[in-house]
Structure 1
Amino acid sequence: MTSWGLRLFRLHRPLGVLAGAMVLLLIACVFGLLLDDRTLVNAPLWAKPFKFAVSVALYAPTLAWLLSLVKRGRRAGWWMGTVFAVAMGADMALLVWQVLVRDRPLHFNHATPADSTIGNFLATGAFAAWGATAAVVVLLLFQKLPDRALTSALRWGTALAAGGMGLALMMFSASPAQQRVLDGGGKPSMIGGHTVGLEDGGPGLPLLGWSTVGGDMRITHFVGIHAIQALPLLALALVALSRRYPVLSSELVRRRLVWTGAVGYAGVVVITAWQAMRGQSIVRPDVWTLAATAGLVAVVALGAVLSVRAARPSVVPGERHALRGF
C-alpha cells in the first residue's frame, strides 16, 4: 500500500476502504470501456460505473481529510464519515449489480419489482450519504482552524456539496410523458430522468453522457458535489502562490478571494441548473445563458480586484506559512 493510502487509512479507515474499492473498480471500468462494446440507454455499459467510481474515489479521501480537522465533536464526525462510507459503498455495490451484472438501467427504473426494490435501496443510501455530508457541514461551523481563509473554503465547499447532492432529487420527478401515463392509470417503466425536455438516451458528450440536445441536471449535480474539493484547493493554492505574490500573504486577502470564489462557484451551480431546467443543452447556450455567465465572470473579476485591494500595508511576519502542516 502506498504512503498516501496508509495516511488515508489513518485518517478514517471506512472511508479509506471505500476509496480503495473505488480505485479497483475504476481500473476494471477502464478495461471494460476498452474491451466491452455493449451499451445501456445509448451509452457504454461501463460508463456509469466509471463516472461514479471517479467521483467517489475523489470524495471519500476529501471527506476523510475534512473530518481530520474536526476537533469539537470528533467522535460524531467519525460516525458521520462511517455512515457515508457504508451508504455510498452499498450504493456502488447496487450499481455494479444492476448495471454490470443484470445489464439494466439503475436510476429511475420501475420496470420490474426487483428494479423498484433496488431503486428504493439506492435512494436510502443516497439520503444517508447526503445527511452525513450535511452533518459534517454543521460540525465545521464549530471548528476553529489556524487559517480563516481555509475555514471559509471548507464551510462553503461542504455546504455547496450538500446542496449539489440535494439537487439530484429534482431528477426523480416524472417527465411530462411519464406523468401522462401515470394520470391514465398506467405504470411507466421509467419514472424520472436526468434529461429535461426529452427522454433519456439521446445524444450526449463522449463518456460523460451529458445531453447535447436537451437540458441535463447531472451537470449541476456534478458541479455542486465537487465544491467540497474545489474551494479548499483554492484556499491552499492561494497559500502556495503567496510565496511568489506577497499580496496573498495577507489572510484577509485570501479569505476575501475565497469568498469571491465561493460566490462564483455558487453562480455556476445556479446557472447550470437554470439552463438545464429550461431544456437547454450545455453545449448550446442561448443569449440569456451567455449573458448570465458574462455577468458572473464580471462579478467574480470585480470581487477579486476588490479583495486584492484589501491588502494591509504590512503583513504579519510568518502569516504566509500559517497552513504549514495541512
Structure 2
Amino acid sequence: MVPTPVRSRAPLTKLARQAFAWHRPLMLCAGVLAVFVLVSTVGLLVDDRFVGGTPVWMKPLKFGISFLLYAVTLAWLASVCRRGRRFAWWVGTVLAAGVAVEFAVITFQAARGVASHFNVATPFDARLYSIMGQTAMVLAVANLLFLVPLMFNRFADSATRWSARLGLLVAFGGMFEASLMTRPRDEQVAALKSGVGTLSGAHSVGVADGGPGLPGVGWSTGGGDLRIGHFVGLHAMQVLPLVAVLLGMLATRYAVLRSERIRLGLTLVASAGYTGLGVLLTWQAMRGQPLLRPDGLTLAALGALVGAVALAAALILAGGRRRRSALQPALS
C-alpha cells in the first residue's frame, strides 16, 4: 500500500509566509496587534472597570482591529510597488512604528484604567496624549506619502489600482477629520483655566462624552459623534479595493463589466459616493445630530447623494451596453 502523503505545509501556512514577506515591519506589527486583540477580548470578559461609560478594554479592542486591518492593507500596497520600492518600504516602516506607538499608549492607559484620548488630568497623562497627537500627524503625512510610489506603479487592473490610490487619499481625509475632536470645548477651556480641568477635546457634539451609545462601537445616540466620519474615512482603504474586487468577480457573470473601462468608471463613482458619505456623516455630527435620528435636511442630502451615485452608475452602464451593442455586428 502506498502511504498517503502528509500535507505538512498547508496552503494557508504558505499564504501566511507570503503575506509576511509583503512588508515585514508592518506584518510584524499586525501580528502583535492580533495578539492584543485577543488580550483585549479577554480583558472585556474579566475586567469590570469602566472609563467614560465604556468598558476599559473596549477601546484597545476597537483600535486593535482597526490598526490590524490598516497594517495588513499597507503591507499589501507596499508589496505591489516595484518602482520606488525602497521609498515605500521606509514609509511603511514609519507607519508601522507610528501605529505601534499609538496602540501602546492606548493599551497602557487602558491597563491603568484611565482615558487615553483627551486626557490631561495629570502632566503624565497630558504628555502621553500629546505623544499620540504628534504620532497621529506623522501617520497622516506618511499615509499621504504612500501615494507617491502607488501613482508610479501598474498593478492589477486599473479599477483596483485607482481604488487603492483613492482609498489612501480618503483615509488621509478621515485622519484629518480627527482634528475636529481635539479642539477643547468652551466649558473645558474654562475648567482648564481654573485648574480643575481633566479633558481637552471630545468626540461627541451637543452632549458629553460617555453617554448612551450604539452597541459595540459606542457612537453617541444622544448627539453628534465625530468618530463616525473618522471611521468611514479611515476604512476607505479596505472598502474601495473591495468594490473593485467585487466588480471583477461580477464581470464573470455580466458582460458589460468585462470592460476594464466600465469597472474603472464604476469604481470612481463609488469612491466619490463613499467620500460624500464620509463628509455627510461628519456634517451631521457637527450639527449635534445622532446617526440614527437624522433630520429632514440630512435625509435630503443623503437622498441627493444616493441619487447622484445611482445616476452616474446607470449612465456608465448604459454607455457600456451601447458600445457593446455597436461592436456586436463587427464581431459576428
Q: Which residue of 2 aligns with 1:114?
A: 124
Q: Deviations over 1:163-194 (max 9, x none)?
A: 11111111000112113335x55462101010
Pair 1:144-2:117 in alignment: no
Shifted more, 194-203 versus 221-230: the winner is: 194-203
Are the equivalent residues in 2 in contact too, given 1:5–1:16 (CA < 8 A)? no
Q: 1:249, 1:315 within 8 Å by CA — same for their partners in 2?
A: no
Aligned partners of 2:219 and 2:225 also within 8 Å = yes
1:130 matched residue in structure 2: 140
Q: Structure 1 unaligned segments of length 5 or more: list them.
A: 317-326
Q: Specify the code of the residue in structure 2 equivalent to 1:221.
A: H
* 1:295 positional shift: 1.1
Distance of 2:172 and 2:308 partners within structure 1: 24
- In the TM superposition, 1:284-295 aligns within 5 A as 284-295=293-304
Q: Residue 99 of structure 1 aligns to a residue in which SS? A: helix
Spell out, residue by residue over 1:92-147, the C-alpha distance to the aligned partner (whole angstroms, 9 max, x if none).
111111112x1110001111011011111112221222121110123222223352
Corresponding position of 1:155: 165
Partner of 2:74: 63
Q: For 1:13-92, what aligned pairs fall within 5 Å after superposition?
A: 13-92=24-103
Q: Tell me the equivalent position of 2:224.
A: 215
Cα distance between partner residues in 2 of 1:6 and 1:243: 30
Q: Which amino acid aligns with 2:136?
A: A
- The DSSP-based 3-state class of the residue aligned with 1:106 is coil
Contact 1:250 1:315 in 2 (8 A): no
Deviations 1:222-241 (A, max 9, x none): 00000011111111111111
Letter in 1 for 2:19: L
Q: 1-side partners of 2:242 and 2:20: how far apart? A: 21
Mean Cα displacement is larger for which, 72-81 or 135-144? 135-144
> Identity over aligned residues, as a percent?
43
CA RMSD of aligned residues (A): 1.7
Q: Which residue of 2 aligns with 1:319?
A: none
Tell me by how many angstroms 1:17 deviates: 0.8
Deviation at 1:86, TM superposition (A): 0.7
Query: Rg larger in 1 or in 2?
Result: 2
Query: Which of 232, 235, 247 does residue 238 from structure 1 map onto?
Result: 247
Provide Cα deviations, 1:184-236, integer angstroms capped at 9, x if missing partner. 55462101010111221111111211100011111111000000111111111
- Say whether 1:179 aligns with 2:189: yes
Does the CA-based 8 Å contact 2:256-2:324 persist in structure 1? Answer: no
Matched with 1:278 is 287
Q: Secondary structure at the match of 2:21?
A: helix
8 Å Cα contact 1:154/1:232 also seen in 2:
yes
Q: Secondary structure at the match of 1:119?
A: helix
With normalisation by structure 2, the TM-score equals 0.90
For the residues of structure 2 that align with 1:191 and 1:176, how far apart are their CA atoms?
A: 10
Aligned residues: 314
**Cα distance in structure 2, aligned partners of 1:289 and 1:150:** 31
CA distance in 2, matches of 1:4, 1:205: 36
Q: 1:13 to 1:146 in 2, by over 3 A?
A: closer
CA–CA distance in structure 1, aligned partners of residues 210 and 242 of structure 2: 35
Structure 1 residue aligned with 2:4? none
Partner of 1:323: none
Please give the alpha-carbon distance, in whole angstroms, between the structure 1 residues aligned to 2:121 and 2:204. 19
State the secondary structure of the residue aligned to 1:313. Answer: helix
Unmatched tracts of structure 2, length 5 or more? 1-11, 328-332
Tell me how far apart the structure 1 counterparts of residues 248 and 32 of structure 2 sit (CA, whole Å).
32
In structure 2, C-alpha distance between the alignment counterparts of 1:146 and 1:97, rounded to whole Å: 40
